[in-house]
Structure 1
Amino acid sequence: MQIKHENNVKTTVSSGVAETLLQEGWKKMDLHVHSSCSYDVPPAKTMHPAVLFEKAKAQGLDFVTFTDHDTVKAYELLGWDKEGLVPGVEISIKDSENVGHTLHVNVFELDSEEFEELESIANEEQNFKSFIRYLRTHNLPHIYNHPFWFAIGDRPNLRTVPELIKQFPVIEYNIQDLTEKNLITAALARKYGKGLAATTDSHTGGMGAVYTLAKGDSFREYFDNIKNGRSYMVVEGGSLRHLTKELNAWVELVFSMDRNVRREADFTTNVKTFDRLINLFANERIREFPRINGLAMSFFQYFSRSGLPAYMYMRSEKSLISRIEKVVNLTA
């Protein structure tokens, strides 16, 4: 690959350096976190926004957000003006004409009316240009999430990704994605002068395992510093380790779901074989037999801790890397 990843700009620091910066007044935040309000998160009590908010504050996150999929229910439960809480949402938009595949965009500091208007643009107009114009007109902080992630069934239009990156102030470095994808994303962000934010994208309560540091007495000041490159990412551990931990926590959540809560959703880890096996054993009938349920959970936890499911997922994504590199070279 021809792009120089680091461009002589230091964008990451160790957790030790981060502690020093925090003592000097820098702020710490994980900008992509899901709660039980997301359709694809198991409805466990530990994933309720109120529980996660207290957990995030205990972990030293200065600003807390829940970017659930196409819903702001977390703020209806917690309150829109709760101190330390930044309203956010992850909105899906598929513009078949101008883009070709689904984008995920995190939007912050919006209210319920703005959310409804953005959802209308995304679902009815399905027009990315109108969507991004609305964000700019309303001065809403926003992030392009995992640019090289593509929804199942989509046909990725790789050539549009560099052009899309140009349209956003901040680009996501998603620790659950392949390191190679993140390095390409980071290189493109630096090439076009965009900010970078490290996130967990956790669906299991693992917020803060990686995070972004920037100064700012308010979230807006904090975000503006990221946008202008005055920030650092703390991403120790690597994708395999973080994804393995996420999958292990996922198993525990699926097997401990409240029996009284029903939801028409397919909880997925994106590892198809692993999903099929979990869905076979983690069901209402099995949960009627606590001993069998416990044994099944122990087996899947052992399996996930082995790192094999995470490795299987990452290997399945490898085929995209060479295609991405060719497109990036064409546009570099």
Structure 2
Amino acid sequence: MRIITILMTQIFSTIMPTLLVTGGAGFIGANFILQAIKSQWANVVNLDKLTYASNLQTLAEIASNPNYHFIQGDIGNVELVSYLLEQYQPDAIINFAAESHVDRSILSPHDFIQTNVVGTFQLLEASRLYWQKLSSTKQQQFRFLHVSTDEVYGSLQPQDPAFREDTPYAPNSPYAASKAASDHFVRAYYHTYGLPTLTTNCSNNYGPRQFPEKLIPLTILNALDSKPLPIYGDGQNVRDWLYVIDHCEAIYLVLQQGKVGETYNIGGLNEQANLTVVERICAILDELAPKSNSHYSSLITFVKDRPGHDRRYAIDCSKISRDLGWQPQENFDSGLLKTVQWYLNNSDWVNQVRSGDYQNWLKQNYENRKL
């Protein structure tokens, strides 16, 4: 593929390390970059394809920061990735780039295989070739951190223990299968080539700046528009909820102190049924943005369950707590309140992301799900 010429218009600080962050215009990646720049963790090169869920407006406040640079591109473009590695000489790569929504993977699995499996392989291959040319000191310092999900472990019954790092993989959706495959490639590149990799598997993230196809922002925005609040099946599917800023702090800690070749599970220690999550959002909105004649919970609508819907996820994050000293700072009540307040205060951001494509997807995914 032809490489688009990139003008090197800035010189990064030599005091801080340089990170190549892929998928940095998405939800978790953008929050990580904002935290990295504000806290002066590193200089950041952000490579993002700018798919439907990416949003550069999220990063507008740091767009002119001399320690940040954005390039539009695909992790599957080996020539482009190799060029960026040579130009910026990053000390680490953090791979957030992924198609990540289960419902979309059911409708279009090809996109998930292409980005999550093939794209991760291409990124690993470019990284391996770059790493092998580094000095021995730089090789020892370099890290490739791959951000993954708890969905690779499959589904739990109510009485089952939470997922551990050694829980066997049992993905049940095309999305989960594609992430499981990418995890295996990362592991293989460590064991086969010695590439210094780290993998994190997180639970459901929530917080500011999340694309409104996911449960929490979808519920907030539908409620404010007096639209139905769709809940799959009986609403008793359980997820562990992790506030995105806590997740970003954990990723940085793993990057700094994690043992090469290891996997670290990152969870919020907040298991909640989907119905409970929606009801709590409604209760918060009743206080912060009350309706004059009804409660938001009256909008709750049960819809036909999606295929292969895992019943319960739960993360045992005792390893990262024990080995690295990390604990989530937000409980579900405090994190959810901050999240709802952010969406209420940022209507411009919301309006910008709610495009025609998003509305078309809502219609396609939910219109025919009525019980």
Please indicate the TM-score interval, normalised by the length of the shorter structure.
0.3 to 0.5
Higher relative CO (CA 8 A, sep ≥ 6), structure 1 or 2? 1
